[in-house]
Each structure stands twice: as structure tokens, then as C-alpha cells.
Chain A
Amino acid sequence: MAKIIMDGQEYEVSDGISVVQAAAEVGVTIPHYCYHPSLGAPANCRMCLIELTPPGAPGPIRQLTTACTTRVGDGMEISNSAPRVKQARATTLQFLLAHHPLDCPTCDEAGECFLQDYAYEFGHDRSVYQEIKNVPPRKSLGPTVDLFTTRCIVCTRCVRFTEEISGGAEIGLMHRGVHDEIDVAPDKPLDNKLSGNVVDICPVGALVSKDFLYRSRPWFLTKKPSVCNRCSKGCNIHVESREGEVARLRPRYHADVNDFWMCDDGRFGYEYVNSPDRLRLPALRKDGELIPAGWRELLETAAEKIQALGGEQTAVITSAWMTNEELYAVKRLAEEGVGTERIGLFEGPVEDEDEVFPKFVIERDKNPNRAGAELIFGDGLKTAAEALDGAKAAVFFGGIPGAPLDDALMDRLTALEYLLTVDILPSALTEAADAAAPGTAFTEKEGCFTNSAKRVQRLSKALPNLGNALAEWQFAAYLANALGANIEYESAAQITDDLASTVAAFHGAVDEAIDWRGFCLEEKTDGGEAEETAPENWAYASRFWR
């Protein structure tokens, strides 16, 4: 730890971090654009200028210093509010705004724009710039990103991102002086799986997501912390929704999981959640057709059929896209309700290899909760095909959009005497079912995923259930009870606690212990509290990451 004095007040901060981060640690904002803790600091925006008195010096050094490239040291004195600091920042803003179109009313970034915020807080209310503004045209940088060239302040965060994090270096800073602008080389668009991140790091409205462009003003969005469901990495995200629909997904900082980033598979992979085709009502097959029915009727007929065909002959197929809580409820359904050992796991694709970028990895296993399923079911877990072998009936939990239902599995399922599906989108399988129950997408779930590093991470319910849909854990409990079990859960949190007390691997992972940074099953079993990774980045993220 280092003792520093900022604006006359003494603080204790982590040693060796940048002054911007140190200030964030103690709750002070030092405005900046080009600096980002996960990218190199070129100190080109000049917004973070401070007055610096090195330890032991008689007074401040003559020139103002950039806070982003200055590391804190014991006894350092900093002024974040000296008149000349304020003046320097205001002047910098005038330069940054000289060619800016001031088109906030039609800009996507308005409301979450650092240029707006800092101009308001640190800038002048008028400009002395009298010349003609440069008006370079808007251009497409790639399939996911557009550049409003006029709005760019040339901080080069995106250039450094493609050089350092994604590695393709597709973006460069072209031309010179007042004409410099961000661009890609001809025929070499920004087309990689991390491209969406450049929109997040853009401090102004220059880089915009084609997917989100003009969809909503950010202040109309409801933002809930959650976890991505597109691979076993478990990137921390925010689900931002409006009027019952997902508007966008954005990464949430986590030092041990995804840093500030997420991949485009996850970022843009939410469309199915908003699909108008989503299943909303429970349906029963009557005279060969699926007819909407009530839950009671569906549960009663299902219990009747399963009992008539025999519990041991009934397979329960669970999915690697379900939360720990849902999986545990399904486990109890299979054991206490159905009474079967035919428990199989239905899963999404697994690629041959991880996709590795210089500072990010997209994992090969496209299932968010395989680790959870394996820990909860243990050795009793079979593949879907094994569990169905010789079965007469099945309760099938799907919920994997575009899931690879191969012909062999399809034949097995449709040959059953009784098939009950719980799924979110209609498919050949739900069409063939004797009863089809609507389930929930990950944005509607409460509970946790366990990622490949055995970190239990919490999802939050960002959207209400669609139509009459029931959470899978609730459905599993109801069905088990219709079959004579006695499962009483009132919330997913109750199951989290139940799971922590009954499954050894989850020992300690009670609802209260799982905060928004997750609960690492492995670290805790090693004994003792794990040391926190990069506390200064957490502080930075909570202050500057929107």
C-alpha cells in the first residue's frame, strides 16, 4: 500500500497502480478517454492531466502530468482540482470538440457518453473554434460495427484493442493531423469474434453496434447483471432490456473470468429470446394435434402416463443449458418423483478447439453449465441416447436454441410411447411431443451456472416469464409432486441452499455466499479465502465501465 495526498486529503491505495486507478479506488474521478486499464496507455487524449508533487519535492513539478501514465508512490501529492488543472482540462475538451458534430440528439451514445459527461463537468459552454469542421463520412468497419467518423476523438482505444486483445490489428489510424481518422484497410474489414468490444471501449458515439443502432436510448433500458450462456467460460454480462425484450448484452467486468470483454457469439446470440415463436402455453396432444391446455391437466396426464408405463422405463433428459438449481430440481424429480436411473444429458455443440486470441479465449464447449450438471448428477449421468435406450417414456428438458438433435436421437424420442418436452422454441421435437411445456430462456432464469473453472455465477431475472411459462425448477417440482413426491421450493435461492447442503462439491455455495463475483468451488475447497485479483481494476470498472 502507498500513502498519497490528493487535494489535501490523505489516502491509502494499492502500490504501483496508475493515478487514475488509485483515484478510482478511493472514489475520485479523474476524467480520461484514451486510458483503459487493460490496454497500453499512450497518454494521447490529455484529459487526465494532474498537478504532481513527487515524494520529497519542495513543490509541484512545472508541467502538468498525465495521471494515466503516472504510477502512485508513497508520499506522492496530487492535485486534481488546481485552477490550472481545471483550465487544462477545459481547453483539452475544446480541442476534442472542435470537429465534433454535437449531434447528441441522434447519437446512440447520448446518455452514456463520456464526452457529454466530461464536457458538462469539466468543459466550457462555448467554443472559440471558428473554422469549418471536418465532416468525414460514416463508414462500415465490418459486419457488426459502424463508425460515425465525425464523432471520433481519436483516442485509439479500438486500435489498441485489435492489436493487443483480439490480435488482428484490423483497425488503424489513417492520415495525419487534423485529418486523422480510424479506418480499416480496403477488403480487410473488422471481422473477428471479439469485434463488438470496440463499441464498448469507445468513450464516445463513434463506434456503434449495428445490432443496437437506433434501437433504444440507453436510459430506457433496464440493466441486470447476469452470465452469458454461449460457452462454458461464463462471461459476466449485463442484460439490458426494454419492454419485455432484450435490447443488448454487454460484458460486465470480472478479473478472473472475462476481464472487460465478451465474444460476439454471446453478445449477438440473444435473438432467440425475443423470437415471436417462443412457446408460451402448455399444450397437450388431443386427436393428433397439440392443443393449449392448463398446467394442472398437463401435470396430471403426464403423471398418469408415466405411472402407467413405469417409472424405471421413463427417461429424464436434462440439459447442459439449465441452471444448477434447475438441474438439482430435475435430479429430485428423477429420483423422488419418477423413480428412474435413466438420467441423460442433452447438450449443445462442443467444438474441437478453443478459439484463442492474444488475451481472450472462447471455450470450445458451447454449454454454459456442463460442470454444474456433472457435479450435481455425478456418475449417474448418462448421455441422452444411453438414457433413452429401451425407454418407453421420457421427460425432455431442452432449452437449447438450434440444438443438434441428430436423426438417431430424434428417432429414439419419436418412437417413445410418451414424450413430454420442456422447451422454449418450437422444433421438430416439440411438434412430435405428446405434451409440450414452455420453459424459460436464460434471461428469464434465476439461479447459477457453474463455469468450466468451477465458478458458480449468478444469473438475474431480467425478463418476466413468457405467457404461462413456468421456471424449470418449479415445473420439475410440480411434476414430481404429481407423481407422489413432496418437494417444496418457493424460490430458486432455496434450492441453492439445499444444493449446498446435500451435494458435497457445492459445500459452502449457499445463496448468501454467492455475490456478483461468483463463488469458486475449487478455491474454497483448497481452504481459506482466495486473494482478490486486480482490486484496482474492480474499482476502475465500478466507476468507469458502463
Chain B
Amino acid sequence: MAFEFTPERLAQFHELLTHYPEEHARAAMLPTLHLAQEQNGYLSQDVQAYVAGLLGVSEAQVLDVVTFYPMFFDAPVGKHIVRVCKTLSCDLCGCREIIEHIKERLEVDFDETTEDGSVTLLSSECLAACDQAPVMMINDDLHGRLTLERVDELMDALE
């Protein structure tokens, strides 16, 4: 079945449009895609076509945005998204060990999803919290000053 917003989300979308000038519906692309990803989990071709139709833009213009931003997914992902920072500050503060630990524990590499479909592991270039390095982000929550114990605690809470 082709993708469609639920009535509640459609109402949210129409409210969103009022934030932008009428002739620039394209400006509402980012929040609309977030809304769609919230409902569908990821942005399939189907969903992208639906959003393109809503905003009156071409599918290429939607794909353009979807492929640009790392927080949009164009393929199915796990229930939880875990992003681990691997850039300078975190590396200096020992993120390699943490990354190894998470990979072993979940039995996945970066950009992979656990077999049960619960977690997708991603690497990240800076989560903008160098003062708390090493850091990771689980879904929408940032976790800093990680230790292996703290990571295990957080992971246990996921399952």
C-alpha cells in the first residue's frame, strides 16, 4: 500500500506549511521528512514520492535532501539508532575502546543493524559535545563521559 500520513500527521503537516511563505512549500521539506520518518521509520521511495507530491517538488529534489542529511534513512533501520563519535576529542579520550566494545557486544559493524532488528550502529563526525568526550547518542539522547560500564548500562536499558 502506498504511504500516506495519518490524519494527525497530515494536520501537523498543514500546520507546518503555515510557517513558510505559500509559494515556498519546498522550504518545509526538512520538517516534513522528519514527520514522515517518524511514521515510517525510514524514507522509502514510496514515502519520498508522497512527500514530493505534498510539497509540489520533484522526487529528485527530495532524494537530494534525503541523501544529504545523515539523520535521514533511505533504507530500513533498527528500532534504536546508536551513534558513536569517532572524531578527535573523543578519540583522544578513548572512544576506540568503546567502539570496539559496542561492536563486540552488538555483533555488528558500523552502518549495520543487529539481527533482531533492535539496534543500528552508526559512526558520527562530532556530536558537538567535545567537553564531555567520549560521547554517543542513543536515539535523541546524548550521553557523555562514557566508560565501558556506563555503555553496558545504557545498552542493557535498550533491550
In the complex, the answer to whether A172 meets B64 with C-beta atoms within 8 Å is: yes
In the complex, the answer to whether A184 meets B68 with C-beta atoms within 8 Å is: no
State whether the Cβ of B61 lies closer than 8 Å to any Cβ in chain A. Answer: yes
Per-position 1/0 for B37-48, Cβ under 8 A of A: 000000001001
- B49-81 CB contacts (< 8 Å) to partner A: 57-64, 67-68, 70
- B135-152 CB contacts (< 8 Å) to partner A: none
Partner of B68, one of A162, A175, A186, A187: A175
In the complex, the answer to whether A169 meets B67 with C-beta atoms within 8 Å is: no
Query: In the bound complex, what is the Cα–Cα distance between A162 and B58 (angstroms)?
Result: 10
The smallest C-beta distance from A245 to any residue of chain B, in angstroms, reads 36
- B80-100 CB contacts (< 8 Å) to partner A: none
In the complex, the answer to whether B67 meets A185 with C-beta atoms within 8 Å is: no
* Count of residues in A whose CB is under 8 Å from the partner chain: 16
Closest A residue to B49 by beta carbon equals A185
State whether the Cβ of A170 lies closer than 8 Å to any Cβ in chain B. Answer: yes
Closest A residue to B52 by beta carbon equals A185
A172-B63, A174-B63 given; A185·B58 CB < 8 A: yes
In the complex, the answer to whether A185 meets B48 with C-beta atoms within 8 Å is: yes
In the complex, the answer to whether B60 meets A175 with C-beta atoms within 8 Å is: no
In the complex, the answer to whether B61 meets A169 with C-beta atoms within 8 Å is: yes
Query: Which A residues are CB-close (under 8 A) to B70?
Result: 176
Closest A residue to B26 by beta carbon equals A169
Query: In the bound complex, what is the Cα–Cα distance between A171 and B59 (angstroms)?
Result: 9
In the complex, the answer to whether B67 meets A175 with C-beta atoms within 8 Å is: yes
Query: In the bound complex, what is the Cα–Cα distance between A200 and B64 (angstroms)?
Result: 23
A185-B48, A186-B45 given; A176·B67 CB < 8 A: yes
**Most-contacted residue by chain B among A162, A169, A185 (CB, 10 A):** A185
In the complex, the answer to whether B45 meets A172 with C-beta atoms within 8 Å is: no
In the complex, the answer to whether B60 meets A176 with C-beta atoms within 8 Å is: no
Query: Which A residues are CB-close (under 8 A) to B63?
Result: 172, 174, 183, 185
Query: In the bound complex, what is the Cα–Cα distance between A172 and B52 (angstroms)?
Result: 13
In the complex, the answer to whether A185 meets B60 with C-beta atoms within 8 Å is: yes
Query: In the bound complex, what is the Cα–Cα distance between A162 and B59 (angstroms)?
Result: 13
Query: In the bound complex, what is the Cα–Cα distance between A168 and B60 (angstroms)?
Result: 10
Per-position 1/0 for A162-182, Cβ under 8 A of B: 100000111111111000000
Closest B residue to A181 by beta carbon equals B67
Partner of B59, one of A175, A176, A188: A188
In the complex, the answer to whether B67 meets A174 with C-beta atoms within 8 Å is: yes
The smallest C-beta distance from A173 to any residue of chain B, in angstroms, reads 6
Q: Summarize A's interface: helix, strand, loop or mixed.
A: loop
Partner of A171, one of B60, B62, B68: B60
In the complex, the answer to whether B58 meets A168 with C-beta atoms within 8 Å is: yes
In the complex, the answer to whether B68 meets A176 with C-beta atoms within 8 Å is: yes
Query: In the bound complex, what is the Cα–Cα distance between A150 and B130 (angstroms)?
Result: 36
In the complex, the answer to whether B59 meets A174 with C-beta atoms within 8 Å is: no
Query: Which B residues are CB-close (under 8 A) to A168?
Result: 58
Closest B residue to A171 by beta carbon equals B60
Partner of A170, one of B48, B60, B67: B60
In the complex, the answer to whether A183 meets B60 with C-beta atoms within 8 Å is: yes
Closest B residue to A175 by beta carbon equals B67
Closest A residue to B58 by beta carbon equals A169
The smallest C-beta distance from A421 to any residue of chain B, in angstroms, reads 48
Query: In the bound complex, what is the Cα–Cα distance between A162 and B48 (angstroms)?
Result: 19
Query: In the bound complex, what is the Cα–Cα distance between A184 and B59 (angstroms)?
Result: 8
In the complex, the answer to whether A185 meets B62 with C-beta atoms within 8 Å is: yes
The smallest C-beta distance from B10 to any residue of chain A, in angstroms, reads 23
Query: Which B residues are CB-close (under 8 A) to A176?
Result: 67-68, 70
Query: Which A residues are CB-close (under 8 A) to B62?
Result: 185
Query: Which A residues are CB-close (under 8 A) to B68?
Result: 174-176
The smallest C-beta distance from A497 to any residue of chain B, in angstroms, reads 52
Query: Which B residues are CB-close (under 8 A) to A173?
Result: 64
Query: Which B residues are CB-close (under 8 A) to A169?
Result: 57-58, 60-61
Query: In the bound complex, what is the Cα–Cα distance between A184 and B45 (angstroms)?
Result: 13
The smallest C-beta distance from B48 to any residue of chain A, in angstroms, reads 7
Query: Which B residues are CB-close (under 8 A) to A184?
Result: 60
Query: In the bound complex, what is the Cα–Cα distance between A169 and B62 (angstroms)?
Result: 10
Closest B residue to A170 by beta carbon equals B60
- A16-53 CB contacts (< 8 Å) to partner B: none
Query: Which A residues are CB-close (under 8 A) to B58?
Result: 168-170, 172, 185, 188
Query: In the bound complex, what is the Cα–Cα distance between A170 and B58 (angstroms)?
Result: 7
Closest A residue to B45 by beta carbon equals A186
Q: Can you identify 12 A-B contacts, CB atoms within 8 angstroms?
A: A169-B58, A169-B60, A172-B63, A172-B64, A174-B64, A176-B67, A176-B70, A185-B48, A185-B59, A185-B60, A188-B59, A188-B60
Q: Enumerate chain A interface residues (CB-CB to B < 8 A).
A: 162, 168-176, 183-188
Beyond A171-B60, A176-B70, A185-B62, 17 additional contacts (C-beta under 8 Å) are: A162-B60, A169-B61, A170-B58, A170-B60, A172-B61, A172-B64, A173-B64, A174-B63, A174-B67, A174-B68, A176-B68, A183-B63, A184-B60, A185-B63, A187-B45, A188-B59, A188-B60
